């Protein structure tokens, strides 16, 4: 049965192969998922989120990688090429395939959308080539009753945000987050988010590096999340988008 028509699968895992079939006129050979990654402390701590990237597709015999986006269907990419749309930047043709891609979040929102797409495409190419792969395992953080509040300030800038060296001194994640932020050179919007979150009772907060965005994150007790969100929204000019993450274990998924 076509993956797009399998009722036992989650709707989002059927949607992308359905879009592939509608675009290419044939069933997808497989569907692959990779989670978005929250890179804390400059990537020293990685937390997987349920939002991420899904790709569906099949093999091509000419060695070219054809990419179509559910989010931007008119911006196709055929790799290798020097003319690549922004959403496909950083992807490489390491095998022939036609892939329909879907990413839950815009680039720069704080969950490394580009990293998730690259992981899902890589997973698909290895699987279609018959290569064995190891599923990456994410360790669940032991943070009972706490949440990671990701704040997309909606600010996008092309100037790169350069990370300064940081050595973790504290085991407590909240303390470490704030120390990391103080060691960096945040944009004013990120500073405003961190200051508002800490004033509202967050255990710690810091900027996130996820170009071209200027996001931030706060470690918050679950019952304080509404108050912290309210304080942040009041402190900034543009109403942010929020994602609340319960630190847990999410893996890549491959279905054929």
Provide the whole-model pTM: 0.85
Tokens (6 digits) for 155 = 């600010």
202 and 118 within one domain: no
Question: What is the reported pLDDT for 106?
Answer: 84
Residue 191 domain-assigned (yes or no): yes
User: Beta strands 77-79 and 204-207: pairing type?
Assistant: unpaired
Our count of domains for the chain comes to 2
Residue 115 domain-assigned (yes or no): yes
Question: What is the reported pLDDT for 140?
Answer: 62
10 and 131 within one domain: yes
153 and 131 within one domain: no
Question: To 10 degrees, what angle do helices 188-199 and 173-183 make?
Answer: 150
Q: Which domain holds residue 174?
A: 146-245
178 and 99 within one domain: no
- Rounded distance, CA 98 to CA 87, Å? 16
Residue 72 domain-assigned (yes or no): yes
Residue 141 domain-assigned (yes or no): no
Q: Are 1 and 74 in contact (CB under 8 A)?
A: no
Residue 44 domain-assigned (yes or no): yes
Question: What is the reported pLDDT for 157?
Answer: 96
Question: What is the reported pLDDT for 1?
Answer: 67
Q: Which residues contact 81 (CB under 8 A, 6 or more apart)?
A: none
Question: What is the reported pLDDT for 133?
Answer: 63
Mean pLDDT per 10-residue section of the chain, whose length is 256 residues: 81 90 94 91 89 94 94 88 86 91 90 92 93 64 90 96 92 96 97 98 98 97 98 97 79 56
């Amino acid at each position: 049965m076509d993956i797009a028509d399998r009722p036992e699968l989650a709707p989002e895992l059927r949607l992308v192969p359905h879009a592939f079939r509608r675009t290419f006129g044939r069933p997808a050979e497989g569907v692959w998922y990779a989670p978005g990654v929250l890179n804390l402390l400059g990537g020293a701590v990685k937390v997987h989120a349920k939002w991420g990237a899904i790709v569906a597709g099949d093999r091509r015999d000419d060695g070219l990688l054809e990419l179509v986006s559910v989010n931007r269907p008119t911006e196709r990419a055929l790799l290798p090429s020097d003319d690549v749309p922004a959403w496909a930047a950083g992807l490489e043709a390491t095998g022939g395939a036609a892939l329909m891609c879907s990413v839950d979040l815009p680039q720069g929102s704080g969950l490394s959308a580009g990293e998730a797409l690259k992981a899902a495409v890589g997973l698909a190419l290895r699987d279609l080539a018959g290569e064995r792969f190891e599923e990456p395992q994410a360790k669940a953080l032991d943070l009972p009753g706490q949440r990671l509040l990701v704040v997309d300030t909606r600010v996008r800038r092309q100037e790169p945000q350069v990370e300064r060296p940081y050595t973790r001194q504290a085991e407590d994640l909240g303390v470490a987050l704030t120390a990391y932020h103080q060691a960096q050179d945040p944009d004013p919007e990120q500073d405003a988010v961190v200051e508002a979150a800490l004033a509202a009772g967050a255990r710690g907060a810091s900027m996130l590096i996820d170009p071209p965005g200027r996001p931030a994150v706060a470690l918050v007790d679950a019952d304080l999340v509404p108050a912290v969100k309210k304080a942040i929204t009041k402190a900034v000019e543009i109403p942010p988008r929020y994602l609340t993450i319960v630190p847990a274990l999410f893996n890549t998924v491959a279905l054929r």
